[in-house]
Amino acid sequence: MTAPQLPGCVRHPDRPTGLSCTRCGRPACPECLRDAPVGRQCVDCVHEGQRTVRRGRTVAGASRGGRRPVVVPVLTALNVALFVLTAAQAGSIGSNNRSALFQEWVLVPGLVAGGDWWRPLTSGFLHYGPLHLVFNMLALWWLGRELEPVLGRARFLAVYLVSLLGGSAAVMLFSPANSLVAGASGAVFGLMGAMFVIIRRLQLPAGQIVGLVVVNLVISVVVPGISLMGHVGGLLLGAAATALLVSLRDRRTLQLSGLAVLTLVVLTVIATRAAAVSFV
């Protein structure tokens, strides 16, 4: 009596095997089997399982995975590079605002009204002296390294830029036409607003971030030369953008549309105010 012939491995037909995949039941040789929670599965089923497993998402809809921040160091490097450039042009670290680039990019509401449409954005990457730069970059690093993994890189960048423009819009609305405003503070305050929204959504104690916001707003009032309106505008827009992302966590298309509408509203405010400003 002859022994029954064993079937060939599904991936290697020339290899008879008495083993099979516990998921699909097809014959598989030892080389093609992998340990699984239950039994052993063929490599095809393992790959299929990896594709169909739903990855966890954060409160803002970003994929979990502990990815290292990328946007934060890029933004930091860009701000530092522009400071070095303006200092080199001015021939002074402390008076870098005298550089041609600084004068061309700083936010002046009257000049925006005259057609310099880029100033509300570019001013957010300039700083008056090294202390201004250091304080803003430390805040960006401290807040950003926590927020970027939660929001995701694209969402984080969107919140940052919307906050920056929100600060510029507030300056356009409430500051004199000949005022000069620069710095990443509006965007940084937007990150504070974003942190508050995330913490509240996770039902965590918000005392630390509230204290940070209050202290910085007081400093904005007490210390001369600081744009309080720019800080408040960035804070409100950062919170609004993050609240939108959190409320639409599982709807990426609506998140994108909401951010686009919010940005359009801010740009409309800037354009409308620019049309009404006269330089004095």
Catalogue the active-site residues: 185, 231
Residues 184, 160: Cα–Cα separation, whole Å = 9
- Residue 175 CB coordination number (10 Å): 19
Handedness of CA 268, 271, 274, 275 (dihedral sign): negative
CA 9 to CA 17: how far, in whole Å? 6
Pairing of strands 40-42, 33-35: antiparallel
Tokens at residue 118, please? 């880029």
Q: How far apart are CA 168 and CA 123, in angstroms?
A: 8
